[in-house]
Amino acid sequence: MGYLMGSNKIIASAPGKVTLFGEHAVVYGEPALVMSIGKRVYVTTELRNDNLVKIVASDLQLPGVSVTFSGDELIIETDYGKTLSAVAYLRGAIDIVSKYLGIFKGVNVFVRSEMPVGAGLGTSAAVAVATVLAYSKALGYDLEKREIARLGWEVEKSVQGIASPMDTSITTYGGVIKVKLLGGNNYEVKELQASTSLPIVIGYVEREARTKDLIMKVKDLMSRHPDLVSNIIKIIGILVEKAEKTLMEGNLMLLGELMNINQGLLDALGVSNKRLSDLIYAARTAGALGSKITGAGGGGCVIALAPNNQEGVEVAMRLSGGLTMRTSLGGTGAMVHSHEPHTS
């Protein structure tokens, strides 16, 4: 990338995530299953001899952006008059690690993402966690996973004001977690035995509404039909418990079937739309064992479980108008690399 790096270069990566079961119901206190995926964010840090923090972010679905800041002054080194929101997470991570360790050193940070930003795949959490890991390691510290996850969460909270620890947990640990809201800002995050890697296809269509709006939409429906909606939410809760067991047993046929039932229930909650529905049924017609919305819906991502026909399912979803990505469920959590691997 045109920057010479010394031998004190640290490369860290962290995976994206999908909500496999239980979105929306999680808002009402039911558990959700969240899994890491095979697509990752790579953050490389190299300490400098001055106090500058220099950030180069490429492949974040914007043309390469280079940003330098010192104190509160921000210097954007491209022609484009906008920075990535991801830059805020990088800078936040540097700040929070410095405060936590009581050390600050200038650093060059290079970021590369295999995933789009803002699609609901947890890219910002992966950026935060990978940066926490790389920068702390560059400063000479081997933080525990527990510390990395907590600092990553602090970064998300500092940037967003409010954040769940879900994304930062799953990107730190990888595998599967079960999340449950306990009221207020309290969450319960349970790490499950990481399962074998499951081939999936992720489809993406433009979002018509924000997550917040979709949560409000379900709340509205709940207020008009509490007898129906509260029962649908409860069924999703039962389904998540079954899905947890099924995932641990590795029964993919059954897992796909549960995905389809979950999808119907999300459809009943009114968070699907024509484009999502097109992708979901295209995937099933092409042989996916199951397919559903992942995340809030109203556009965004669809996930299809396709152990035997990943390519065919991907083609079908593209023909139905989606951007697609082949990957797997259950990617390794945040880690340090001796050298940056090639893109999978």
User: In angstroms, what CA-CA distances link 106 with 18, 45, 55, 71, 136?
Assistant: 34, 10, 11, 11, 12
Structure tokens at 306: 């396709």
Distance CA 209, CA 284 (A): 25
Based on CB atoms, which residue is closest to its own copies, 176 or 218? 218
> CA 222, 208, 111 angle in degrees (round to 5)?
115
C-alpha Rg value of the chain to the nearest Å: 20
Please report the beta strands in 32-175, taking only residues with DSSP state E, as ranges in sequence order: 32-47, 53-58, 65-70, 73-76, 107-113
User: Cβ 261 to its own copies, closest distance in Å?
Assistant: 5
Phi then psi dihedrals of residue 325, to 5 deg: -150, 125
User: Cβ 289 to its own copies, closest distance in Å?
Assistant: 13
User: In angstroms, what CA-CA distances link 276 with 101, 213, 304?
Assistant: 45, 17, 12
Does the annotation count 167 as an active-site position?
Answer: yes
Based on CB atoms, which residue is closest to its own copies, 261 or 305? 261
Based on CB atoms, which residue is closest to its own copies, 118 or 270? 270
User: In angstroms, what CA-CA distances link 135 with 38, 152, 174?
Assistant: 23, 12, 20
Q: Which of 79, 167, 213, 220 is catalytic?
A: 167
Between β-strands 107-113 and 53-58, what pairing exists: parallel, antiparallel or unpaired?
parallel
Q: Which residue has the tokens 């959700």?
A: 32
User: Cβ 233 to its own copies, closest distance in Å?
Assistant: 11
Based on CB atoms, which residue is closest to its own copies, 171 or 262? 262
Based on CB atoms, which residue is closest to its own copies, 128 or 243? 243
Distance CA 17, CA 90 (A): 19
Distance CA 183, CA 8 (A): 44
Distance CA 51, CA 58 (A): 23
DSSP code at position 332: B
Based on CB atoms, which residue is closest to its own copies, 126 or 269? 269
Q: Which residues are near its own copies by CB under 8 A? A: 221, 224-225, 227-228, 231-232, 234-235, 238-239, 242, 254, 257-258, 260-270, 272-274, 277-278, 280-282, 284-285
Determine the length of the chain: 344
Which residue numbers are catalytic?
A: 167
